[in-house]
Structure 1
């Protein structure tokens, strides 16, 4: 659903966030603001947008942007910066060989950017040391696809999710991480109530509350579950013998491998009730139209590739693949993770789904590029790449559009590597990240809304990202920056494109080179169209072969891309997770929250996206919290053998006993000490190289603080040496939660935080409380609230006063609105900025269902990701309606 009407001059583009690939209509106004609406004609979202997509217009300002090249912290010309990068890479290659340099890139890049970077490294420098942050989210899917299908192919489409009679969502909190697709599924279920949803996830989430069956299995036991399912399907005579014999190989070995995996054994290994295992097996057995959707809970594992193949095996056995409403479906995390996979952005692939290990494929690419060399072996994958940076094998590194100091496992060691490397260039849009601060050369890149190119979503649909804003300062598109460096390294003719349309055309032509359906990826039918046709290109699914119509699904009638052209069953062996050491008895899981993205360099700019969850936190089970003396909203130190973070306690039964969940978004730019990937072991899947970001050992203890505080200011808030702080954008400025050892001088602390001595306030020494306000020209410029416990003030009220005429000093210091101005409470619906207290008030006035709340307040009527929270509030105030209960508990 569009959040605002589209203007006549709106530009059709594609969202910058997840792999759903939603169409967006963006309108730039003369006052510098940008209006955002969903594109009703785009086949991915049909006008729907999630909370993040709806707020894109709030993230395109120039505050904190990197606008000029820098060397050593000093502004320089583009010529000087490009010369420095080209010289460092050229000199390093000459002295130490091509494998001494590396690029680490990102699913935030456009396909054209990815293609140019890949061409430079693999075809002209001659190394495959180019990897991407997509290694952290999708590499196990790629590896599983290649083992089973011979190539990295997603067989189905979003329509299959709507046409299925059974959806099995594995390791996917789709309601929060891919909410637009989840709403398409919800709409299909509303139209056909017989549709069943099973969620396989160790954690209760916004997705599990909509499930007919939630399988809350032990972490990393998915292979055991699908091993048992394969045996059950075979025992139930559901093998599609005709399909298996005509189109697959390896099935006898796969079935021999599952002998003995009874329901009881699966239940024992997974920790599930035997009745739930049996119910799941029966559902799948009875449902021809079954789609298994999986995401990071499958991929981000030390056995992720085996999880993928265990899922695929069940679809090959039953022939439920490639037909409407059937198949395994990997849903990607980033807007262009798929595009990066297509151009060979991973260190173990060549462009256009060609294999670096295949001599014939290397010859095709080298000849087409007229390249002097071609990489002939896989490069270093992300984790091992930064190991090589740390130990000195990589001597020149270029990071583009990503923040490995925060996002990679063992992030403290990664930051040490960034400090050690002799030469580090970083291309980014923002002026300060935990990675950029170590760069020798900083390169200002164009951001979303400023650059042109293509992205590919989870269903293989290529869409255009179009510019609707001018390039700010001296920012340049990434493809151009790379091409300029390549030209300075002596490769000018091969990198002399006039615009992204020419890059795309070259890439499309390469995809068809010596193809003849020998490779799945082929968009040669999009080549040769010229700049105007590129500008107007409509969303299209590949393959688009020259002279042929676009295809939608793969493998219904075989046609795999293995040497035998048969799909391969892969023998997978369930692994028993290692016992946790006594000193670290918890299992730490990491992931996303609803309204933030990656390390918040974009979503952190939007105050409404920060309103839902403005602080880093740890989900901990009530019994574990009680055992460790931890109360709700206490500060907690979460530690592992690699370090510790300090976060807020969220006591909830959404996690099991012995389990913790900490989101991955907070960095040193937004918090004192919450870079959770510092705690994560750099353990990877042996096939894919993808790190196990969801399974680390940890311990917890209550973090003792003598003073807690909340501050708001129209100017940057100083943090000094505070033990804990977390900043978030609010309307008119910045808000900060903080805590520290007991302070004897409350006023001095407030003056330090706000940067002024001109304060009015009150101090209650006996209670250990103090409140201060800074007022200039009759308007509030800042306020600080201190107490011995987390301070009791209305955050939304106080932050809403920033920059406004002061209604009275006593009102500000009270920290709460008067009776004539109700406090909306914590934000529940970010799309329409509806608070918990407003929902409670509506319930008291007769709103009994989530739909009633939507009619009265609009909450839950856009992306829908807040509906389960609305339902919980209705239940908590006694409105135990069927509608509310249905959204909170499984019905099957």
Structure 2
């Protein structure tokens, strides 16, 4: 019978803060497919490698599908009753500050709102913090110090309109690839556009940089205070803007002048010539955007770094104008939404201040709450210290994995294990955090969730469910509301749908606002189910009709071409009795018929140097900040030089992320193709440091700090700054033997924001002496791996495993049996004990069950080819012996290590294409498709082309 084509559902990507639109489709056979939404103003159809692989992450393997109490199954009523009664009893006996919530930027805004409301308005404590504290808390603090509010003034459009993009502490090519591609496309159309990268590492982002400033760790404060002083010395200030719209400039300039150019050079590790060229470029380029991310935020000086950057933009009047402004890009999909609802311990909902008694009274009145938190709560690092010392006795962790992601993660794990009552609501049944929960609550996953998220440019988008809810999983907002009801707060948590929560959230944003607060989405306060379902992406502020964008008595911005007065068209009449006319459902109103769910008429991607075709709102071009005098505040920052290295720990460890994995791999670890680019934990080390410490390429290295050690693969590369190491934070006990990187980091935090310093850790490195190395492929994930070093990753048809052993006294036949079942299998084996070579393969009929390769050095077997054999039919003995030999037959070229994850293109394929005459990235794309989707691999392709051309020339 003929089956109708599956309906595409318009939703939003659950990865970084770019907030890309996604079209998801479920076929009649249940197969999920995804593609970029060409109408979404964040990405216009582009997706990165992670977004492109989302369909591979929606399976139910490993899911937590039923509530559990102490490891046994329970009903929802039993689990919720226990959580509600235990939290209530703990509060009654020890006070409200004896309980805490640790939440996540993976939550939707509606989830976040209900959690914040329960803790701050009904429990009466502000002990709710979020893993976004690890991501952008310093940006929030810097914004509030400078602007009086947590306002991101710019838009993505500014990246394309600028003449100079300064990327600070941001590997945009790997961590925000769609924004990187937007900049790359704009630069290709306007070659005069310049890009400067400020980063200790020469990351893949340097591929589009005209200038790479390989700054010393934490040298950013000196760099930008030096810039402010230089601007003052060279008469490159916008004195009219400074006088009319700012305060504190004199003090800031005086503090910045503490170092002369030579002093700045010493503090940053840059030459005076490099500084002079960068400062001159900044001074003469009016349309400058400074984009910053974790390299700025994750620092003990993070807030000062943010304000040092903002100071330079205020001093030149480059803020809130097309193509100009400081721009914080967030790491998580809804870090911004969490900020809007007050999801951090030192904030109130709707960008109100917990320190302000008038704001507290207003929120309490709106919620009709019995109490309101009277002071800031414990920020993430301090929260887990309070768990450790017993001040917090009941802890609820939602949608995050702090045992792996928090600094000093070993101490965090010990604290959670010792806590009297721990609740974890999550998607997976086994994570390094879930395993310590007394109560486990199954939450809905990305494809099953319904709500909203806000991206880095203040754009709110709908996340729509396209998959049925499996088992007994429930939305996070529902779980929180049910616990609240059991704590006696029934009336305030009677929400039946996320639409009702969003309407309340929007109503609070407008409540007694009148333009006094930046966050106002009052136009949506009357949203009903139908309107909410059709909600289109929009930027805030979006006040209800008649509400000023700026307070009375303050001049609005001029009506020049910056569109600052272009308020989004009101979508809903807040005071209405009947729904607003449907033609007003979207500010981008278009034909709904025939479009995907929630669809609008197609919009075209922006032209480089042009506009997006979507309405943008910018703040602050002509002042009107949210400080008492409506002026921005310069923050006086004195540059300091900080070093943490010692004779025992002589290197600086910088932690971060890689292209194809996300946080602790609870989602990306499910995708075979995302694990092929980099399949095991590693540490980058400069060749000089590698030689000094006896480290060879592909050795197993032991990286140590005063808190612990990890074992990771060594990657010797000149991209790494000498004296520094880089290692990614993704690997957990679920994926590697000893690679939980944040067990090495300290609980040192920024004194203003409370954000941990994860980029500047004193460390040492040494070679781990392995006598034997191994590699295996297996159809089923091994239950145990008795090796000193192991790392497991998904591949098509099964799993791949890297191994290393401190000795070679192992029964390899028995070890193979522990990796894959050999009991009833046909086993072929090759043993050369003299050479230390062992190869064992097991077959179930015509299919490979598993293969193990052992050698005295790193195993020289093509990983891609070996993994492919799990899906092949092996009918003949010849085919089976090839597996034992570890070699493909004639006519089966090895693709090599994966470079392009989107199309599974390997390095050997690219090398062959270069030899055949493809000498540009575009030519490689035409021949192999590599680099033609998300573009994250284009810099690697360019490097392969260059290396092969040099080799040919030699």
Whether the TM-score (by the shorter chain) exceeds 0.5 is: yes
Shift of 1:238: 2.2
Cα pair 1:843 1:879 within 8 Å, conserved: no
Residue 675 of structure 2 is aligned to residue 603 of structure 1: no
Shift of 1:816: 2.4
Residue 828 of structure 2 is aligned to residue 764 of structure 1: no
Please give the secondary structure, in 2, of the residue aligned with 1:805.
coil
Shift of 1:743: 2.5
Match of 1:52 among 36, 47, 50: 50
Shift of 1:183: 0.4
Match of 2:850 among 782, 801, 807: 782
Shift of 1:287: 0.4
Aligned to 1:830: 901
Distance 2:10 2:519 in 1: 26
Aligned to 2:921: 850
Distance 2:82 2:431 in 1: 21
Distance 1:427 1:473 in 2: 15
Match of 2:175 among 171, 174, 177: 177
Please give the secondary structure, in 1, of the residue aligned with 2:676.
helix
Aligned to 1:678: 743
What's the TM-score, normalizing by structure 1?
0.97
Aligned to 2:684: 619
Aligned to 1:487: 485
Q: Which runs of no fewer than 5 residues in structure 2 stay unpaired? A: 547-566, 569-615
Distance 1:665 1:280 in 2: 34
Distance 1:210 1:196 in 2: 9
Match of 1:469 among 458, 467, 470: 467
Distance 1:787 1:261 in 2: 56
Cα pair 2:345 2:378 within 8 Å, conserved: yes
Aligned to 1:795: 863
Shift of 1:564: 1.3
Aligned to 1:556: 621
Q: Give matches, 1:723-762, under 5 Å.
A: 723-740=788-805, 741-757=807-823, 758=825, 759-762=827-830
Aligned to 2:241: 243
What's the TM-score, normalizing by structure 2?
0.91
Aligned to 1:364: 362
CA deviation string 1:571-596 (max 9, x = no partner): 11222113411000010000000000
Cα pair 2:700 2:711 within 8 Å, conserved: yes
Please give the secondary structure, in 1, of the residue aligned with 2:413.
helix
Please give the secondary structure, in 2, of the residue aligned with 1:802.
helix
Shift of 1:529: 2.4
Aligned to 1:886: none
Shift of 1:739: 1.1
Shift of 1:685: 0.1
Cα pair 1:7 1:27 within 8 Å, conserved: no
Shift of 1:854: 0.5
Distance 1:84 1:256 in 2: 59
Which runs of at least 4 in structure 1 moved beyond 4 Å after TM superposition?
A: 879-882
Please give the secondary structure, in 2, of the residue aligned with 1:877.
helix
Please give the secondary structure, in 1, of the residue aligned with 2:79.
helix
Q: Give matches, 1:162-201, under 5 Å.
A: 162-201=160-199
Q: Give matches, 1:408-807, under 5 Å.
A: 408-547=406-545, 549-550=567-568, 552-740=617-805, 741-757=807-823, 758=825, 759-806=827-874
Aligned to 2:549: none
Shift of 1:8: 6.2
Shift of 1:30: 2.4
Cα pair 1:622 1:651 within 8 Å, conserved: yes
Cα pair 2:831 2:838 within 8 Å, conserved: yes
CA deviation string 1:133-167 (max 9, x = no partner): 00001000000000000010000100001000000
Q: After alignment, is 362-371 or 815-824 more displaced?
A: 815-824
Match of 1:263 among 236, 261, 281: 261
Distance 1:518 1:102 in 2: 31
Cα 1:96–1:181 shift into 2, 3 Å: same
Please give the secondary structure, in 2, of the residue aligned with 1:379.
coil
Please give the secondary structure, in 2, of the residue aligned with 1:198.
strand
Shift of 1:745: 2.0
Cα RMSD, aligned residues only: 1.3
Shift of 1:803: 4.1
Q: Give matches, 1:35-434, under 5 Å.
A: 35-434=33-432
Cα 1:266–1:817 shift into 2, 3 Å: same
Q: Which runs of no fewer than 5 residues in structure 1 stay unpaired? A: 1-5, 883-892
Distance 1:846 1:818 in 2: 26
Q: After alignment, is 133-142 or 701-710 more displaced?
A: 701-710
Please give the secondary structure, in 1, of the residue aligned with 2:327.
strand
Distance 1:260 1:723 in 2: 51
Distance 1:227 1:766 in 2: 63
Please give the secondary structure, in 1, of the residue aligned with 2:490.
helix
CA deviation string 1:477-508 (max 9, x = no partner): 00000000000100001000110000000000
Cα pair 2:8 2:24 within 8 Å, conserved: yes
Q: After alignment, is 742-751 or 699-708 more displaced?
A: 742-751
Please give the secondary structure, in 2, of the residue aligned with 1:587.
strand
Distance 2:625 2:520 in 1: 15
Cα pair 1:136 1:300 within 8 Å, conserved: yes
Distance 1:209 1:528 in 2: 48
Aligned to 1:887: none
CA deviation string 1:392-419 (max 9, x = no partner): 0000000000000000000000000010
Distance 1:336 1:846 in 2: 45
Shift of 1:879: 6.0
CA deviation string 1:592-632 (max 9, x = no partner): 00000000000000000000000000001111111222111
Aligned to 2:933: 862
Distance 2:749 2:323 in 1: 33
Shift of 1:721: 2.9
Cα pair 1:718 1:755 within 8 Å, conserved: no
Shift of 1:88: 1.1
Distance 2:439 2:91 in 1: 18
Cα pair 1:208 1:214 within 8 Å, conserved: yes
Distance 2:292 2:725 in 1: 21
Residue 884 of structure 2 is aligned to residue 810 of structure 1: no
Distance 2:204 2:867 in 1: 28
Distance 1:777 1:248 in 2: 77
Distance 2:443 2:640 in 1: 43
Q: After alignment, is 805-814 or 313-322 more displaced?
A: 805-814
Cα pair 2:778 2:819 within 8 Å, conserved: no
Please give the secondary structure, in 2, of the residue aligned with 1:729.
strand
CA deviation string 1:319-375 (max 9, x = no partner): 110110100000000000000010000000000000000011001100000000000
Distance 1:842 1:545 in 2: 55
Cα pair 2:164 2:287 within 8 Å, conserved: yes
Cα pair 1:706 1:743 within 8 Å, conserved: no
Instruction: Count residues with an aligned counterpart.
Output: 877
Shift of 1:261: 3.3
Aligned to 1:888: none
Cα pair 1:20 1:335 within 8 Å, conserved: yes
Aligned to 2:564: none
Distance 2:694 2:228 in 1: 45
Please give the secondary structure, in 1, of the residue aligned with 2:842.
strand
Q: After alignment, is 400-409 or 623-632 more displaced?
A: 623-632
Aligned to 2:580: none
Aligned to 2:949: 878
Cα pair 2:225 2:257 within 8 Å, conserved: no
